Amino acid sequence: MSRVVIAGGGQAGFQVAHSLRLAGFEGSVTVSAEEDRLPYQRPPLSKAYLQEDFGFDRLQLRPESFFEQNRIDLKLADPVTAIDRAAGSVSLASGTVLPFDHLVLALGARNRVLPLPGADLAGVHLLRGAEDAERFREALHSAERLVVIGGGFIGLEVAASARKRGVAVTVLEAADRLMGRVVSPEISGFFLEAHRAMGTEVILGAKVLALTGTTAVTGVETADGHYPADLVLVAAGVLPNAELAAAAGLRTEGGVVVDAFMATEDSRIFAIGDCAVFHSRHAEGWVRLESVQNAVDQAKCVAARIMGGDVPYDSVPWFWSDQGSFKLQIVGITAAADHVHSAGSLEEGRLVTYCFKGDRLLGIETVNRPGEHMAGRKLLSGDLQLARAEVERHDFDLKAHLSALAKASVAP
């Protein structure tokens, strides 16, 4: 009977186990997790979980009974520590050795730690897992001034959540715009205005030198000044957990390198989610994606492959971020865009951008326009065409355009 071991108890690892059982897999399924918690949702940790005082159980993907009923063996607080490819087994932190026929690396990523003086002061936090969120939420209850180092998704979501609680917030971003690695300048500008309108102080081009204080943090020192704080969040991005794969002799380049079926050089071993690097036509090259959609869809691909399927992973990537009253939704990978057409404004509370490289549509970004986001997903998933000249018309309507394309495709 086939044995599947899943290293990682997050969204991706959970989805592999779930998808295997849904597909009728009768072999053994073991999930080895680093945390001593049932698999849970991570996205709310920087948003709703900080804004409201609800229990952690609301974040669990399934209750404990689900894993018992589906014969999924959960090894909590017992992560994989080594892979023996020759023996076809893994070792766990507890010393347990598990043989496998298929091994799925759903190892996720960890926070990038900045080598700053004062980083070990009380009141300085990172935010990745549930324990981080619990500690930070408790500190937020009594905080008066929060400084967030980093103007990416997590930093801005936390900033908006803290403002909702009435905490004074300063965001220090090293680059010249917010979320610069993943969104267009138009979206960056929209959210810069939005956060300042929320009352958040946003400093671009900030070079952080040190965190100040004796035992507890009292502020952040930059090249241009000092920002008082009794709470600091360092949100400087993440690094993929690829060391386990590298130690086993698998190829790693900014993550665990996989093929179109999410398999490593060893066909028995797969990598998915935040730790995996794969070739995507939507990104015009190799990419590592950090999103729930990516984790879930890659997990489903691997489960299908284990069951004998032969459909490669080719999902159109999509992402979202809730910041205050604004929902940012992105379909496609827009970083390489050389032409962006936008419609909407902060005053309207809505925005849509169409991101092209030459004449090719790379992606669509929307703020508080869910209908157009869904239309964009259909458009890009179906390889339907959208010309730059079309979107530049003052009366362009994406949903109407998609409807016309659909009708044309079925016309006799």
pLDDT of residue 409: 59
pLDDT of residue 42: 94
| CA nearest neighbour of 166 among 141, 133, 139, 195 | 141
**In this structure, what are the phi and psi dihedrals at residue 65, rounded to the nearest 5 degrees?**
-60, -30
Alpha-carbon gap, residue 183 to 333, rounded angstroms: 9
| CA nearest neighbour of 130 among 216, 225, 57, 204 | 57
pLDDT of residue 412: 54
pLDDT of residue 397: 83
Can you tell me whether residue 196 is helix, strand or coil? helix
- What is the DSSP pairing of strand 238-240 with strand 109-111? antiparallel
DSSP of 95-161: S-EEE-SEEEE---EEEPPP--TTTTSBTEE--SSHHHHHHHHHHHHH-SEEEEE--SHHHHHHHHH
Query: Which parts of the chain have pLDDT scores under 70?
Result: 383, 406-412
pLDDT of residue 83: 98
Q: Which DSSP category does 58 fall into?
A: G
Q: Which secondary structure element, helix H or strand E, spans residue 410, and what is its range?
A: helix 398-410
Contact 11, 41 (CB under 8 A): yes
- Domains in the chain with CATH codes: 3-109+239-306 (3.50.50.60), 113-234 (3.50.50.60), 325-410 (3.30.390.30)
Contact 343, 187 (CB under 8 A): no
Alpha-carbon gap, residue 330 to 320, rounded angstroms: 6
pLDDT of residue 124: 98
pTM above 0.85, yes or no: yes
176 token code pair: 């010249």
pLDDT of residue 408: 63
| b/e per residue 221-251 (b: at least 16 CB within 10 A) | bbeeeebebbbbbbbbbbebbbebbeebebe
